[in-house]
Amino acid sequence: FDPIGPIVAKKDGDALSDEQIRGVVAGFTDGTVAPEQMSSLLMAIVLRGMDRREIATWTGAMIDSGIRMDFSGLVRSGHRLRTADKHSTGGVGDKITLPLTPLVASFGVAVPQLSGRGLGHTGGTLDKLESIPGWRADLTADQMHRQLAEVGAVVCAATADLAPADRKLYALRDVTGTVASIPLIASSIMSKKIAEGTESLVLDVKVGSGAFMKTLDDARELAETMVALGTDAGVTTSALLTDMSTPLGRSAGNAVEVTESLDVLAGGGPDDVVELTLALAREMLDAAGLPDADPAEHLRNGRAMDSWRAMITAQGGDPDAPMPTPRHRHDVLADDDGRLAELDALAVGQAAWLLGAGRSRPGESVSATAGVTWHAAFGDPVRRGQPLLTLHTDDETRIPAALAALDGAVGIESAVGRPGSRVLARV
Positions annotated as catalytic residues are: 87, 166, 173, 188, 192
Which residues, 6 or more positions from 157, have their beta carbon under 8 angstroms from its beta carbon?
Answer: 114, 115, 116, 117, 126, 137, 138, 139
Q: Which of 109, 111, 119, 185 is the binder for ligand URA (CB under 6 A)?
A: 185
Q: Is the Cβ of residue 179 or residue 262 nearer to ligand URA in the bound state?
A: 179
- Per rule CB under 6 A, count of chain residues that contact ligand URA: 7
Site string for ligand URA, 197-216 (x = CB under 6 A): --------------------
Stretch that binds ligand URA, among 47-55, 178-186, 374-382, 386-394 (CB under 6 A): 178-186
Q: Is the Cβ of residue 8 or residue 47 nearer to ligand URA in the bound state?
A: 47
Strand partners, 59: none
38 binds ligand URA (CB under 6 A): no
Q: Which of 37, 188, 315, 393 is the binder for ligand URA (CB under 6 A)?
A: 188
CB of 116 to ligand URA, least distance (A): 7
CB of 244 to ligand URA, least distance (A): 13
CA-to-CA distance for 52 and 222, rounded, in angstroms?
11
Burial class of residue 140 in the structure, from the number of CB atoms within 10 Å of its CB (0-12 exposed, 13-18 middle, 19+ buried): exposed
410 binds ligand URA (CB under 6 A): no
Q: Is the Cβ of residue 230 or residue 269 nearer to ligand URA in the bound state?
A: 230
Q: Is the Cβ of residue 166 or residue 199 nearer to ligand URA in the bound state?
A: 166
CB of 158 to ligand URA, least distance (A): 10
Q: Which amino acid is at 18?
A: D
Residues between 52 and 91 with contacts to ligand URA, criterion CB under 6 A = 89
- Taken as a whole, the chain contains a residue count of 427
CB of 257 to ligand URA, least distance (A): 19
CA-to-CA distance for 315 and 113, rounded, in angstroms?
13
Stretch that binds ligand URA, among 10-18, 62-70, 179-187, 394-402 (CB under 6 A): 179-187
> Is 116 in contact with 126 (CB distance < 8 Å)?
yes
DSSP per residue, 324-376 = P--SEEEEEE--SSEEEEEE-HHHHHHHHIIIIIS-SSTT----SS-EEEES-
Stretch that binds ligand URA, among 96-104, 182-190, 264-272, 320-328 (CB under 6 A): 182-190
Residues between 122 and 161 with contacts to ligand URA, criterion CB under 6 A = none
Own/partner pairs, 68-72, CB within 8 angstroms, 24+ separation: 68/194, 68/195, 68/197, 69/112, 69/141, 69/162, 69/195, 69/196, 69/197, 70/197, 71/110, 71/112, 71/145, 71/148, 71/197, 71/198, 71/199, 72/197, 72/199
Which residues, 6 or more positions from 301, have their beta carbon under 8 angstroms from its beta carbon?
Answer: none
φ/ψ of 4, rounded to 5, equals -65, -40
CA-to-CA distance for 261 and 277, rounded, in angstroms?
10
189 binds ligand URA (CB under 6 A): yes
Stretch that binds ligand URA, among 133-141, 157-165, 185-193, 363-371 (CB under 6 A): 185-193
DSSP per residue, 188-239 = HHHHHHHHHT-SEEEEEEEESTTSSB-SHHHHHHHHHHHHHHHHHTT-EEEE
Q: Which residue is nearest to ligand URA (CB)?
A: 188
Q: Is the Cβ of residue 158 or residue 314 nearer to ligand URA in the bound state?
A: 158
CA-to-CA distance for 223 and 158, rounded, in angstroms?
23
CB of 85 to ligand URA, least distance (A): 13
Q: Is the Cβ of residue 62 or residue 281 nearer to ligand URA in the bound state?
A: 62
Q: Which amino acid is at 366?
A: V
Q: Is the Cβ of residue 107 or residue 170 nearer to ligand URA in the bound state?
A: 170
CB of 166 to ligand URA, least distance (A): 7
Q: Is the Cβ of residue 190 or residue 340 nearer to ligand URA in the bound state?
A: 190
Stretch that binds ligand URA, among 145-153, 183-191, 362-370, 393-401 (CB under 6 A): 183-191
Stretch that binds ligand URA, among 59-67, 138-146, 184-192, 213-221 (CB under 6 A): 184-192
Query: What's the Cα-to-Cα distance from 194 to each of 132, 148, 188, 252, rounded to whole Å?
Result: 29, 18, 10, 29
Interacting residues with ligand URA (CB under 6 A)? 89, 170, 179, 184-185, 188-189
